[in-house]
């Protein structure tokens, strides 16, 4: 690729990581700023243009690619999401656009009252996402990857449809309708996922899920249930794990996004999902960073259970001690370096750890 000339080598590292192995070193993505002169781009006219105009989205992304060094397994991607949870938009939630995120207004007060859900090829948000992806594929082929939108599934999308408090009550008062709606959401997740997989030429190119910087030579995705921070391990096992397991079965490569200390109690259930490949850890606001020793016992527990680790946002100075403790097999560390020279030095040194 134009912005990633060693992409074929990076692909081999990804394949090794998915197989709980490694090549020469820990799987390591290192970005660094390039000192280049760039022409300014025209700012968007409004929030709709910022999120939905392919010309602006692609120009912004390409400007970022040109000013970034992608070392190791880092790679350039065009993000196609409309906020964190685009599936909620496709299923009927009104979108509220802000500069840095998108909020989703509920469509009903309870799971029982949610209107019938179906794949809607005319949904305005879906049409906008497809248009962006098509332009990305056209302009980016041979230059960078075009990614899946951050769809999001399970109880997180149900919470978008009915509201968080309503869903919390329904888990107690109406569990059967919660389970029914969650199954419907996950079935439609794959209806949209499969459409996108073909659009992005997944059978030939593999697929990347840019929200978590992963690529795989097949159907690849990040899975999650941030809502899980509010429920017990018993509820997680009952309401979340069955659909996660089905998703992992239907994908070729999957990594679960474990978000915040209140979600750690679910690790034992997660590592028992047979087809789940890896777990990604986000400590959350105010907690020690990804590379901090506080989390090392949990990382060892996950690796010993046969799952890979995805540790994005690791501080540059914490990469080496973390990698030496964990070893290279099944470990993917993402970091940023202050300069291209520092990034290249880190990659060289990683072969000696």
For the stretch 100-150, pLDDT in tens is 999 999 999 999 999 999 999 999 999 999 999 999 999 999 999 999 999
Measuring CA to CA, which residue among 12, 331, 73, 33 is closest to residue 214? 73
Q: 218: domain range?
A: 7-350
| pTM exceeding the 0.75 threshold for the entire prediction | yes
Q: Does residue 303 belong to any structural domain of this protein?
A: yes
Instruction: Say what percent of the chain tops pLDDT 70.
Output: 100
Instruction: Say what percent of the chain tops pLDDT 90.
Output: 96
**pLDDT tens digits, one per residue of 254-309:** 999 999 999 999 999 999 999 999 999 999 989 999 999 999 999 999 999 999 99
Band the pLDDT of 37: cuts 50, 70, 90. Answer: confident
Average pLDDT of every residue of the chain = 97
Band the pLDDT of 40: cuts 50, 70, 90. Answer: confident
Band the pLDDT of 38: cuts 50, 70, 90. Answer: confident
Beta carbons within 10 angstroms of residue 136's beta carbon: 25
Task: For residue 185, give the CATH number of its domain.
Answer: 3.20.20.210
What pLDDT sits at residue 210? 82
What pLDDT sits at residue 51? 97
Band the pLDDT of 211: cuts 50, 70, 90. Answer: confident
Spatial separation of the C-alpha atoms in residues 279 and 293, rounded to whole Å:
17
What pLDDT sits at residue 320? 98
Tokens 């309708």 locate to 177
Spatial separation of the C-alpha atoms in residues 4 and 73, rounded to whole Å:
10
β pairing state of 214-216 and 207-209: antiparallel
Tell me how far apart the terminal alpha carbons of the chain are, to the nearest angstrom. Answer: 29
Q: Does residue 81 belong to any structural domain of this protein?
A: yes
How far is Cα of residue 149 from the mean position of the Cα atoms in its chain?
9
Spatial separation of the C-alpha atoms in residues 180 and 114, rounded to whole Å:
11
Domain count across the chain: 1
Q: Does residue 2 belong to any structural domain of this protein?
A: no
Q: Does residue 119 belong to any structural domain of this protein?
A: yes
Cβ pair 130, 199 in contact under 8 A = yes
Spatial separation of the C-alpha atoms in residues 309 and 8, rounded to whole Å:
22
3-state secondary structure of 137: helix
Q: Does residue 22 belong to any structural domain of this protein?
A: yes
List alpha helices for 200-226, DSSP H: 202-205
**pLDDT tens digits, one per residue of 221-244:** 999 999 999 999 999 999 999 999
β pairing state of 308-311 and 278-282: parallel
Q: What average pLDDT does this structure show over 20-40?
A: 94
β pairing state of 220-224 and 253-259: parallel
Q: Does residue 161 belong to any structural domain of this protein?
A: yes
What pLDDT sits at residue 207? 96
Q: Does residue 1 belong to any structural domain of this protein?
A: no
Q: What average pLDDT does this structure show over 22-39?
A: 94
């Amino acid at each position: 690729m134009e912005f990633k000339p060693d992409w074929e080598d990076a692909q081999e590292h990804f394949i090794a990581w998915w197989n709980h192995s490694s090549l020469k070193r820990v799987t390591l993505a290192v970005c660094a700023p390039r000192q280049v002169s760039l022409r300014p781009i025209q700012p968007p006219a409004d929030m709709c243009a910022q999120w939905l105009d392919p010309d602006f989205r692609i120009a912004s992304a390409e400007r970022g690619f040109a000013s970034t060094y992608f070392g190791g397994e880092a790679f350039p991607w065009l993000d196609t999401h409309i906020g964190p949870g685009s599936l909620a938009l496709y299923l009927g939630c009104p979108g509220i656009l802000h500069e840095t995120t998108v909020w989703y207004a509920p469509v009903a007060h309870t799971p029982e009252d949610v209107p019938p859900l179906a794949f809607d090829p005319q949904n305005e948000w879906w049409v906008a996402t497809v248009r962006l992806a098509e332009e990305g594929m056209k302009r980016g082929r041979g230059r960078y990857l075009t990614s899946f939108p951050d769809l999001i599934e399970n109880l997180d999308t149900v919470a978008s449809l009915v509201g968080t408090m309503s869903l919390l009550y329904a888990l107690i008062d109406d569990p059967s309708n919660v389970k029914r709606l969650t199954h419907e959401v996950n079935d439609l997740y794959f209806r949209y996922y499969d459409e996108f997989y073909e659009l992005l030429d997944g059978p030939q190119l593999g697929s990347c899920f840019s929200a978590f910087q992963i690529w795989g030579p097949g159907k690849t995705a990040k899975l999650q249930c941030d809502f899980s921070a509010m429920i017990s391990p018993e509820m997680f096992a009952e309401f979340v794990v069955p659909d996660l397991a089905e998703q992992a079965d239907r994908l070729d490569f999957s990594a679960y996004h474990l978000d915040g200390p209140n979600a750690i109690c679910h690790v034992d259930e997660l590592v028992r999902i047979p087809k789940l490949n890896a777990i990604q850890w986000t400590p959350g606001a105010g907690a020690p960073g990804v590379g901090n020793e506080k989390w090392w016992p949990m990382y060892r527990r996950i690796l010993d259970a046969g799952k890979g680790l995805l540790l994005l946002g690791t501080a540059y100075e914490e990469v080496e001690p973390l990698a030496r403790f964990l070893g290279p097999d099944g470990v993917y560390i993402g970091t940023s370096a202050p300069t291209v020279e520092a990034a290249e030095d880190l990659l060289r040194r990683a072969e000696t750890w």
